[in-house]
Amino acid sequence: MSSRSFPVHGAGLGLRRSMLSSLTDQATQSVDFWEVAPENWIGVGGRYGHQFRQLTERSPFICHGLSLSIGGPSPLDEAFLHKLKRFLKDHHIRTYSEHLSYCSDDGHLYDLLPIPFTEEAVFYVASRIRRVQEILEQRIAIENVSYYAAPGKQLEEADFINAVLQEADCDLLLDVNNIYVNSVNHDYDAEAFLLRLPAERIRYLHVAGHYQEAADLIVDTHGADVIDPVWQLLDKTYQRLGVIPTLLERDFNIPPIADLLREVATIHSLQTKWRNETGGYLQHA
């Protein structure tokens, strides 16, 4: 067994602007770290900007991007990356992640679209990730995404992710809900998929809710409570890979903060269980 260092620890929550008015000392104390989309906060001033600054000065923050379009056909938005670099520094952001997908083609498409699982795409995406890391002067993490079709597929999803991580020499944001969603939509074993990913590159985890459209179709909405099979997969993740910092995402149908904190408490409970069992170390399968 070998220990790993992470940019944050414990259980986190995605911060949305609508939550600011209901945050209390109790809420901020029970959340170990917060995540924001930098696009929603860069350049924000006034009351929201002041509240955000107060939070980043007293709590650990990480950033999860929405618009970089790492797999897109258009050139990287390097002007945005330089603004992002200043934002990360100004707010002492612990790490930055983006989606292994694309969302633009001569304009934003307002959705996260799948990158073809091909060798050509591996080298294309990896070169763009390396350029991002060069501009930001730091490693970034790339998130495995949910997808509903695999056009031009040459590689299996896990092989594609591994190849990009290796070629780009970047880290992984492992989304446990996305593994579950894809395992249902594409009929594969979620735990077997989990064990094919490089544990040593994982920086933190995401967990979220989704919408069950049909028995064999799940839509990744981040708009509902986390369901039991996803909690069970998170439990298996800790068992097999060790206790990894985990963030609860909720983007739509946001309930009262007390309800979100109950889900954060579930993360804490599972982490405590496996920390007591393993000491928080990496378990090699």
User: pLDDT for 145-179, tens place per residue?
Assistant: 988 877 778 999 999 999 999 999 999 999 999 99
Residue 248 has pLDDT above 80, yes or no: yes
Region 117-146 average pLDDT: 96
Task: With CA atoms as reference, report the closest residue to 52 among 107, 9, 7, 15.
Answer: 15
Number of domains present in the structure of the chain: 1
- The DSSP call for residue 141 is E
Least confident interval from 100-109, 126-135, 194-203, 262-271: 100-109
What confidence category does residue 109 fall into, taking pLDDT thresholds of 50, 70 and 90? very low
Q: CA 36, CA 51: separation in Å to the nearest integer?
A: 14
The answer to the question of residue 284 being in a domain is no
pLDDT of 219: 75
Provide CB contacts within 8 A for 145, sequence distance 6+: 99, 100, 101, 112, 114, 175, 178
Task: Return the CATH number at 199.
Answer: 3.20.20.150
- 283 in a structural domain: no
Report which of residues 142 and 254 the model is more confident about: 142
CA 241/CA 277 separation, integer angstroms: 12
pLDDT in tens, 204-225: 999 987 667 666 677 767 667 8
The predicted model gives 259-278 an average pLDDT of: 94
Q: Which amino acid would we find at residue 56?
A: T
Residue 36 sits in which domain range? 11-278
Asked if the structure places residue 4 within a domain, the reply is no
In a domain? residue 5: no
111 by Cβ neighbours in 10 Å (0-12 / 13-18 / 19+) ranks as: exposed
Residue 56 counted as domain residue: yes
Inside any domain, residue 227: yes
Note whether residue 272 is domain-resident. Answer: yes
CA–CA distance, 52 with 38 (Å, rounded to integer): 12
Residue 77 lies in a domain: yes
Rounded CA separation 272/250 (Å) = 23
Q: Which two tokens stand for residue 261?
A: 């904190």
